[in-house]
Amino acid sequence: MSLYERLKNAGADIDNHYSDLYVKKTPKVDNIIKQAKKDGLVFDTGSYFRNNIDNELWIDIPFMYDPYWEKRIK
């Protein structure tokens, strides 16, 4: 299961910009990302940013938004 699928199944707040996956930072999300790193699914969690809408901390994970790639394959 991809990182995107794991986060989606866990009910994480997800958004994107093209292929970059944005996910709201929570302890649950941190654990999912930590496990994904151990599983070799992700190597760089990118950067953190403050969301302009909710003023919460989010994580930008480059190239990990699955729907972008699925659409490009078709």
For residue 35, the model assigns a pLDDT of: 94
DSSP code string of 17-69 = ETTEEEEE--HHHHHHHHHHHHTTS-S---EEEE-TTT--EEEEETT--HHHH
Residue 16 · residue 60 · CB < 8 Å: no
For residue 74, the model assigns a pLDDT of: 78
Which residue's structure tokens are 């990118």? 46
Total-model pTM = 0.90
For the chain, the structural domain boundaries read 3-65
20-24 and 47-50 strand pairing: unpaired
For residue 64, the model assigns a pLDDT of: 94
pLDDT in tens, 37-61: 999 988 877 799 999 998 999 999 9
